[in-house]
Amino acid sequence: MTASKSPSAARKPHSIHDQNLVAGQGGDLHLFADGDMPALTTAQGGPVSDDLNTLKVGSRGPALIEDFHFREKIFHFDHERIPERVVHARGYGAHGYFETTKSLSEYTRADIFQRVGEKTPVFVRFSTVAGSKGSFDLARDVRGFAVKIYTKEGNWDLVGNNMPVFFIQDAIRFPDMVHAVKEEPDRAFPQAQSAHDNFWDFISLTPESMHMIMWVMSDRAIPRSFRFMEGFGVHTFRFVSANDESTFVKFIWKPKLGLQSVVWNEAVKINGADPDFHRRDLWTAIQAGDFPEWELCVQLFDQNFANSFDFDVLDPTKLIPEEILEPIPVGRLVLDRMPDNFFAETEQVAFMTQNVPPGIDFSNDPQLQGRNFSYLDTQLKRLGSPNFTHIPINAPKCPFHHFQQDGHMAMRNPVGRANYQPNSWGEGPRPDPGRGFRSFAAEENGQKVLLRPESFADHYSQARQFYLSQTGTEQKHIAMALTFELSKVEAPVIRERMVSHLMNIDANLAATVADKLGMRKMPKAADAAVPVRDDLAPSPALSIIENGPASFKGRKIGVLAANGTDEKALYAIRQAAEQEGAMVELVAPMVGGIETSDGQWNEADHMVDGSPSVLFDAVALVLSEDAANRLTGEATARDFVADAFAHCKFIGFTAGATPLLAKAGIEPDMDEGLIPLDDAKAAPDFVASCRKLRVWAREDAVKL
């Protein structure tokens, strides 16, 4: 190839040496970046190593769908001439930063993991999966936990959930799974619920979903707050070092405030009292300067570990127990700023699993491979243009250079004569094989087949392990959730199929659900593709109760007070909560406020008629006897106390509040969760007791 001169002769091509022209495998000449040229990047800002060849299996093999640079380039070209999310529609986001706390330079050349103490801006979007934008926050559902990290080498989107596994093993089943869980098409309900025939019909015909079903029927599906839930990358990824050595990695976000969920009866009432409960919680915490924080942990392993592990690490319905492979803390995520405009940022943010910086690569997980294709296609449809990266929330914060042009909503175009490469004018970016993204050169062989690997065939063993890893209280909640969901299923054959699957997970669980459903006889256990293992050790890390908080920090106490309330008792609770890092909100008969016994006026945060105790983590009844007697005639006040007791919360009370306790059917000495507050020194003890969050021993007596 001979470079022609510019017609004006004002611009001369560089020498071959300067341009770094080298022969490619196909005989073409590759033009690589040198010191005078910026590195070619994707629209996300990630450096590109090769712009002339698609990624394929061998030099003559089939092209791979995971070649995100090719797909971005061709999709943008396809849309040069020129709706609500299908899933994860209801979301809420916040800005913050990621701080690297451990260098991983031994394992990955990803820039973000090179320097301890460096902070990188992030945007995080939490979401529910099944409901529409207008649905409620406390649906029993998976929660999206999507993190966009604006690294110096392009955007990294760690698009995960609050559960480490998924319903299906191959992305081709995703449309069917989503269609089944969404509202039934002939009637357009139920909304944001899985308790209907279509969902359980699909699940009962899909044994690979059983592990995920245990998670979704557990309390993990009804978190108390975004701030109190874990996040998982779900899939197995690769770290690639500067020496092109590969290490498998799984990502886990662990909340600094510990794990916490609500109970189902509580969730139902929260949805009625405050359908924006999770949104309000995140907003309030950040506005108060109580910034939510998570620790990023990684599980690192090599091919030998993968070969020796009991299950296939490429199967997204499986996890690696933390007791087998301990997560290593490598950074922290802090959310410290809400968006300036919800639509511009939280609604328009576009996450894609394909967005990874050099040094992070994909595994052959078939669900991940499909997501890498689907997410880009989704954003093009939803945001109306391949130029969605021009929207500020999606734009990388590092320098970026490419030849993508025109199209709907183009805010910037390449400058100069050349809008292609290679070119003779010395214009524009060039690929940088040193800095650019390189896929790990894993050897692949075998026939092209439409087949699921045999190593994916065990659908029950980890589901059983998860169930046995729960405390007795949590196991009871799973049984209650399954009973409720299946009671909404009209077709008996679907209920029977589900119980037959439960037989392979735990016989007592299956018997409990069958009994509650009124089944007259037990079905035989579903056929298992491989024998169910009963030798997997329970994993305490899978229990919420076993991984609760060490303090009551970040939680909220609702104080029910009225005119005549003892100001010393009220002050003592506020002071004790403040020292703990907890919040106190005053609930009064009228929203205007109350006058305490010393004549001081106290503004109320809530009116008892409209702010039930389900909105708080613990309650305190700071009342005079006259006020308590008056409140016994108010149904909402009685429910405030009765629900707090039924939901196993700690209840502090002054002596004057006993008439209201009695009206709710509660004796002051019924259990350890009822704590007198008449001694001013009792307030710190009450707040300290609240660290346990619940008095679970009370649940059997309440029998919700």
Predicted confidence (pLDDT) per residue in 389-399, tens digit: 999 999 999 99
3-state secondary structure of 481: helix
Domain with CATH 1.20.1370.20 in the chain: 460-546
Among 647, 533, 574, CA closest to 267 = 647
**φ/ψ (deg, to 5) at 346:** -65, -40
pLDDT of residue 80: 64
**Lookup result for tokens 């980890």:** 462
pLDDT of residue 7: 36
- What are the angstrom distances between the C-alpha of 578 and each of 175, 573, 585, 614? 48, 8, 12, 21
3-state secondary structure of 223: strand
A 10 A CB-CB count for 669 gives 8
User: Residue 175: CB partners within 8 Å, gap ≥ 6?
Assistant: none
Measured distance CA(121)–CA(510) in Å, rounded: 47
Measured distance CA(685)–CA(675) in Å, rounded: 9
With beta carbons less than 8 A apart as the criterion, state whether 218 and 193 touch: no
Average pLDDT over residues 311-337: 98
Measured distance CA(35)–CA(659) in Å, rounded: 81
The secondary structure of 90-143, three-state, reads CEEEEEEEEEECCCCCCCCCCHHHCCCCCEEEEEEEEEECCCCCCCCCCCCCCE
Percent of the chain with pLDDT over 90: 81
Domain with CATH 2.40.180.10 in the chain: 91-390
With beta carbons less than 8 A apart as the criterion, state whether 221 and 231 touch: no
A 10 A CB-CB count for 445 gives 7
Tokens at 81, concatenated: 């001439």
- What are the angstrom distances between the C-alpha of 682 and each of 202, 572, 587? 54, 8, 21
pLDDT of residue 81: 57
**φ/ψ (deg, to 5) at 562:** -150, 175
Predicted confidence (pLDDT) per residue in 36-64, tens digit: 788 889 898 889 998 877 888 887 777 78
Alpha helix stretches (DSSP H) within 227-276: 264-273
**Lookup result for tokens 């909100």:** 585
User: Residue 16: CB partners within 8 Å, gap ≥ 6?
Assistant: none
Cis amide leading into 121 (omega within 30): no
Catalogue the E-assigned strands of 302-411.
Answer: 328-337, 360-362
Catalogue the E-assigned strands of 552-630.
Answer: 556-561, 583-588, 593-595, 601-603, 606-607, 618-622
With beta carbons less than 8 A apart as the criterion, state whether 292 and 335 touch: yes
- Give the angle subtended at the CA of 337 by the CAs of 586 and 274, to the nearest 5°: 40
Provide the phi-psi class of 599: left if phi over 0, else alpha when psi is between -120 and 50, else beta.
Answer: left
Predicted confidence (pLDDT) per residue in 400-414, tens digit: 999 999 988 888 888
Give the residue with greater pLDDT, 86 vs 463. 463
Among 569, 566, 604, 600, CA closest to 586 = 604
Burial of 528 (0-12, 13-18, 19+ CB in 10 A): middle
Predicted confidence (pLDDT) per residue in 682-697, tens digit: 999 999 999 999 999 9
pLDDT of residue 30: 44
User: Residue 327: CB partners within 8 Å, gap ≥ 6?
Assistant: 252, 254, 297, 298, 299
Measured distance CA(30)–CA(467) in Å, rounded: 56
Average pLDDT over residues 222-244: 98
Pairing of β 246-255 and β 293-301 = antiparallel
pLDDT of residue 167: 97
Tokens at 65, concatenated: 């769908």
A 10 A CB-CB count for 113 gives 25
Predicted confidence (pLDDT) per residue in 119-153, tens digit: 999 999 999 999 999 999 999 999 999 999 999 99
Measured distance CA(200)–CA(86) in Å, rounded: 20
Pairing of β 593-595 and β 328-337 = unpaired
Is 211 among the catalytic positions? no
Is 563 among the catalytic positions? no
Percent of the chain with pLDDT over 70: 94
Provide the phi-psi class of 166: left if phi over 0, else alpha when psi is between -120 and 50, else beta.
Answer: beta
DSSP codes joined into one string, 138-204? T-SS-EEEEEEEEETTEEEEEEEESSSS-S-SSGGGHHHHHHHHSPBTTTTB-SS---SHHHHHHHH
In this predicted structure, which of 218-222, 414-418, 527-531, 598-602 has the lowest mean pLDDT?
Answer: 414-418
- What are the angstrom distances between the C-alpha of 683 and each of 259, 588, 616, 620, 676? 24, 20, 17, 10, 9
Average pLDDT over residues 335-357: 96
Query: Mean pLDDT: which of 77-86, 267-276, 408-417 is highest?
Result: 267-276
Architecture in CATH for domain 551-702: 3-Layer(aba) Sandwich (3.40)
pLDDT of residue 27: 39
**If you average pLDDT over every residue of the chain, what do you get?**
92
Of 3.40.50.720, 2.40.180.10, 1.10.645.10, 3.40.50.2000, the CATH number of 91-390 is: 2.40.180.10
Provide the phi-psi class of 364: left if phi over 0, else alpha when psi is between -120 and 50, else beta.
Answer: alpha
606: which strand partners? 587
Cis amide leading into 612 (omega within 30): no
pTM here is: 0.90
Active-site hit among 161, 162, 355, 387: 161
In this predicted structure, which of 26-40, 335-349, 598-612, 635-649 has the lowest mean pLDDT?
Answer: 26-40
**CATH code for the domain defined by 460-546:** 1.20.1370.20
Predicted confidence band at 82 (pLDDT cuts at 50, 70, 90)?
very low
User: Residue 621: CB partners within 8 Å, gap ≥ 6?
Assistant: 560, 628, 641, 651, 652, 653, 654, 657, 660, 661
Domain with CATH 3.40.50.880 in the chain: 551-702
Predicted confidence (pLDDT) per residue in 551-598, tens digit: 999 999 999 999 999 999 999 999 999 999 999 999 999 999 999 999
Measured distance CA(519)–CA(201) in Å, rounded: 18
Active-site hit among 76, 88, 95, 211: 88
pLDDT of residue 128: 98
Among 182, 180, 169, CA closest to 202 = 180
Predicted confidence band at 329 (pLDDT cuts at 50, 70, 90)?
very high
Measured distance CA(95)–CA(295) in Å, rounded: 16
